[in-house]
Structure 1
Amino acid sequence: MALKLPITKGVKLANPIQLGLGPAGVLYATNQTGEVYSLHDTDNDGLEDMALLYCNVKDAGLRSPSGFTSRGDTIYIGTAQQIRAFLDVDKDGKADTSWVFFDGIPHSEHPYEWTNGLSFGPDNWLYAALTTDSWNAAPSPDPKGYRGAILKISPDGKKVETAATGIRSVYGLAFNQYGDLFFTDNEGGGNPTEELNRLVRNGFYGHNPAKYRVTSIVAPEHNLETEVAPSGIEFNRPDNDYGGSGGELFVAYYGPGERWARGGIGRIQVRRLADGSYAYKEFPVADIPKLSDLAFGKDGALYVANHGKADYWYNAVYENEGSIYKLVYDPSLLHVPAKNREKPSKTFSKNSVEAGKQLFAERACLGCHQVDGVTELLGPNLKDVGKRLTREEILEEILKPSERIKPSMMAVRVTKKNGQVMSGRVVGSNENLISLMLIGNSIIEIPRHEIEKTVNEKQSLMYEGLLNGLSDTEKEALLNYIFSLSGSSAP
């Protein structure tokens, strides 16, 4: 049973991006614009109804508080520029003092540069994930390769080690009861699926190989299935029954960007085998749109943060969107076994699929989209796209390609000092050059000293009108072929 928190007292809480249990069992939430809130149940009815402004990271010149954890009375916030510690000395619900815990983060003004998944390990070191800079046309110098890596930082913040590299957009990190660290990563940029990974020390996880010059890739432990765009994750405590899920992993899913009805919660049975490896089984828990994070409260119930509507970069663009829900388990369901979500099926005729494959070639779709699940051209690989989007959503992507653009697929217009202008997709960059994939999938390297300016474009590199002149039967055949690429039935 999902109960929306009736937060009517204190300050307004909107568009939460982080959720976590802090000192004294108090629930905390953060907002992309900088606010950190503490949530309180003033009438003791089991539902938090008041939000207090604990701090605002903008006061320290910081942005995007997308990482949260605590140790003792101290709260640690990961931002684009640094990890900062906050302390409420007089216990009035507001931070009185703060200090820099770690500031060795390469950062620019790119809105995707986050510091996520803060988690203290059994070794008392703080682990954090820094999103990739591969889609940034103007990344900051990163000689140590921190951006696109998982870092571990000593308890005093003075030492840092690189625990893993080759990550893309890791939002959630979580340790299980055996001390193993798990993390999710998003599909795209070398990741063929939505991933659940387990940390292998110094492992390379496949994204941005040009930066790390590593060829041996640590494969995902499990391909996530409930939804797309995994965000926050948390292991339930082994002693917290919560419907028989003690020790299991819960995953929040944001869903496809700008599809406001998509999102959900997955529950994964993570079973440790005698040889130290793991077996996984995933079940959907609830369909709640645009979930940015989740956390177990002090009473053992699960809380989830619904972010609400946002722009391309997940910045809030609608006032007072989003909310927090408390999921209370119904004991009457204790003996009802978990079930995978059933999907309607439709059988495609071989002739229809073959006709769709021919149209896929004739309309030059192969020029920008591979279907092997591995190769990424100018557009995303379409293998298994039928598991991520419905027929209606895929058709809309074709008819209105600029309506919704995944930020990593956004076009960039580069103007050189000699007047030459090129548009393409950034597939790699550093302080010396930009690697730009042009239409036709050729990649050119442009030295920065030759560049006058770079501009992000909100116009898709995919042409409009690709289905012009096709009959309804031909359109159906094309969609049938696209769905056949996943080996899945059409929802």
Structure 2
Amino acid sequence: MSCNSDHEKNKNLEVEEEFKVYGPYKVIELPIKKGVRILNPTFISLGPDGKIFSANQSGEIYTLIDSDGDGLEDEALLYFNISNLGLRSPSGFTFKGDTVFIGTSQEIRAFIDRDGDGMADSTWTVFNEIPYSHHPYEWTPGLNVGPDGWLYFNLTTDSWNAGASPDPNGFRGSILRISTDGKNVEQMGTGIRSVHGMAFHPNGDLFFADNEGGGNPTEELNLLVKGAYYGHNPKKFNNPEHVQPSVYDLKTEVAPSGIEFNRQNNDFGGTSADLFVAFYGPGERWNRGGVARVHISQSENGNYEFEEYPVVDLPKLSDLTFSKIGDLYLAQHGKSDYWYNPTEEKTGKFYKLVYDPEVNYLTSRSSLNQNGNFSSSSVESGKQLFAELACLACHSMDGSTELLGPNLKDVGNKLSREEILDEIYYPSKIIKPSMVGLKVIKKDGQVLLGRPVSIEENEISLMLVGNYIVQISKSEIERTEPMDKSLMFEGLLNGASEEEIKNLLDYIISMKEN
């Protein structure tokens, strides 16, 4: 089937109207009704033979098939179920020729469909030198085949994992590359936090997006420099003197997930070679998420320059990919439990963005906080209340200082006014993973409550109330328990008037960057 005939079919497809679009694109939901049940998809990627591959959080790897030829994929055909091998969290995907590589919590594994029936019939382990525990936030994402033919991937940090396995090679929290036979491994960069998306620029440079938190003041877009340290969990990496700065701070949404460069020969509304970024959005706020486009150019001195544009507001995206004919496919992770594990009642979806020059679209994106022009008196009154409530004891406003609670600099660009107020009223409703408290019960009976700053093989660094950090040897610990309640107490605004609450929010929001 020709690309032109595919685009002609797309013109007649039913368009989703509920999402705000900021370019000449139609949003179309894929009606996956047959085959594997879609359950919190973790990635979506172009694979061998131009097929679109995806995976469920529950372990099924599948391809999306247009079984009736109407231009919309309507069936998920099982390629392999990694849970049958005792593996979990398929979060990385790439391929080389007919060989598919899947990154899981425990290992990177190769698959081939030798008989052409759409199901893998041959599989083997490529790399399993991964320090693995049963912590749910252990992933092997960002899998790519580099221009050198090696596999590039990363391992999320173990800094908040109280039960982390020994990591003698220091692999966790770093970007690695391995030969496709798995015999050679090289650490390319360290000090990363939670990188879900990595992509090679057409010139061969590797870009990756790292989530804000735990020493990362922003949603970072980074450029891989071999041997560089990127700022997270310094103690693990012997406190490097130099921190490689991010090259750009992503602003469209929070929690970047998948990233991919558009092909140079795919115009897609004048975006050839641009970087597309999927965003999951904040925590369990199910209406947040979206896609941004970043136009990247190089100045005469070789430095990169960046221009960011919103593409669509679409919640809880885990990944994106361009199809063989050039449409942009989106994987919506959907609702899940607190640890992103699948629940039978709540599933995700797939969408595709189709270029259509006749579409009417929005040209600008409204701010999360519409009323950003606050009087100096309201901001000053809010600042005073912020101090009286002792918020400064746990929250910095400078964008860099790490205290017991999250740094609130620029929170007005990340959460709406209503969402900020919800965080204050119900601090235990949504707790960011890096902010989950830890109860440490020592063998001598002492109980310590705080937030883990770093967790090493032999000790835990715990920040206590008052922002005092203690080092606790694991040999002294009887057990640890994650806290299901926030370290911030409820009822903070009890007795406050509506005017006082308004002023407090004015002050917090006024600290955002324009």
Could you tell me which of 414, 417, 435 is aligned with 2:440?
Answer: 414
Counterparts of 1:17-36 in structure 2, within 5 Å, are 17-36=42-61
Instruction: Look up the SS of the partner of 2:383 in the other structure.
Output: helix
Match of 1:244 in 2: 270
Q: 2:335, 2:346 within 8 Å by CA — same for their partners in 1?
A: no
Alignment partner of 1:219 is 2:249: no
Superposed, which structure 2 residues align to 1:37-48 within 5 Å? Answer: 37-48=62-73
Gaps in structure 2 of 5+ consecutive residues: 1-25
Partners of 1:333 and 1:60 lie apart in 2 by: 46
Instruction: Give secondary structure in 2 for the equivalent of 1:331.
Output: coil
Question: What secondary structure is seen at the aligned counterpart in 2 of 1:24?
Answer: helix
Distance in 2 (CA, whole Å) between partners of 1:394 and 1:271 is 36
Q: Is the 8 A contact 2:138 2:155 kept in 1?
A: yes
Tell me the amino acid that sits aligned with residue 315 of structure 2.
Answer: P
Correspondence 1:445 to 2:468: no
Separation of aligned partners in 2, 1:99 and 1:167: 28
**Which residue number corresponds to residue 68 of structure 1?**
93
Give the one of 365, 386, 393 matched to 1:341.
Answer: 365
1:93 partner letter: G
Which of 104, 110, 120 does residue 85 from structure 1 map onto? Answer: 110
What is residue 375 of structure 1 aligned with on the other side? 401
Q: Within 5 A, what are the aligned runs for 1:279-358? A: 279-332=305-358, 339-343=363-367, 344-358=370-384
Alpha-carbon contact 1:312-1:407 (below 8 Å) kept: no
Contact 2:372 2:510 in 1 (8 A): no
Could you tell me which residue of structure 2 aligns to residue 98 of structure 1? 123
Q: Residues 223 and 247 of structure 2 are in contact (CA less than 8 Å); yes or no, is this contact kept in structure 1?
A: yes
Deviation at 1:320, TM superposition (A): 4.7
| Distance in 2 separating the partners of 1:473 and 1:123 | 61
Q: TM-score, normalised by structure 1?
A: 0.97
Conservation of the 8 A alpha-carbon contact between 1:356 and 1:481: yes
Matched positions, count: 486
Residue 182 of structure 2 corresponds to residue 157 of structure 1: yes
Aligned partner of residue 332 in structure 1, secondary structure = coil
Structure-to-structure mapping, 1:188-207, within 5 angstroms: 188-207=213-232
- For 1:169, the equivalent position in structure 2 comes to 194
- Provide the residue aligned with 1:16 in structure 2: 41
Q: What's the CA shift string for 1:138-181, capped at 9, x where partnerless? A: 21111221100000111321111111001000000000110000
| SS of residue paired to 1:210 | helix
CA distance in 1, matches of 2:383, 2:423: 18
Instruction: Give the Å deviation of 1:32.
Output: 1.3
Deviations 1:301-332 (A, max 9, x none): 00000111122221123535110001111123
Residue of structure 1 in register with 2:418 after alignment: 392
Shift of residue 103, structure 1, vs aligned partner: 0.7
Tell me the alpha carbon deviations over residues 78-100 of structure 1, each in whole angstroms, 9 at most, x when there is no partner: 01111000111111111111101
Larger mean Cα displacement after TM superposition, 54-63 or 251-260: 54-63
Partner of 2:466: helix, strand, or coil?
coil
Q: CA deviation at 1:437?
A: 0.8
Find the aligned partners of 2:124 and 2:144 in 1 and give their Cα distance. Answer: 18
Cα shift readout 1:352-391 (whole Å, capped 9, x = no counterpart): 1111111111101001000110011110100000000011
Mapped partners of 1:347, 1:175: distance in 2: 41
Question: 1:15, 1:273 → 2: CA distance?
Answer: 41
Measure the CA separation in 1 of the matches of 2:504 and 2:73. Answer: 50
Letter in 1 for 2:184: K
- Post-superposition shift, 1:23? 0.6
Q: Deviations over 1:273-309 (max 9, x none)?
A: 3333211000000011000000001110000001111
- Please list every run of 5 or more consecutive structure 1 residues that lacks an aligned counterpart in the other structure: none
Equivalent position SS for 1:358: helix
- d(CA) in 2 for partners of 1:39, 1:260: 25
CA RMSD of aligned residues (A): 1.3
Identity %: 59
Mapped contact 2:165–2:457 kept (Cα < 8 A): yes
Q: CA-to-partner distance for each residue in 1:215-239, whole Å, 9 max, x for gaps?
A: 3111111110110000000000000
Equivalent in the alignment of 2:18: none
Which residue among 496, 509, 512 is the counterpart of 1:470?
Answer: 496
Q: Which runs of 4+ in 1 moved over 3 A?
A: none
Shift in Å at residue 339 of structure 1?
4.2
TM-score, length of structure 2 as denominator length = 0.93
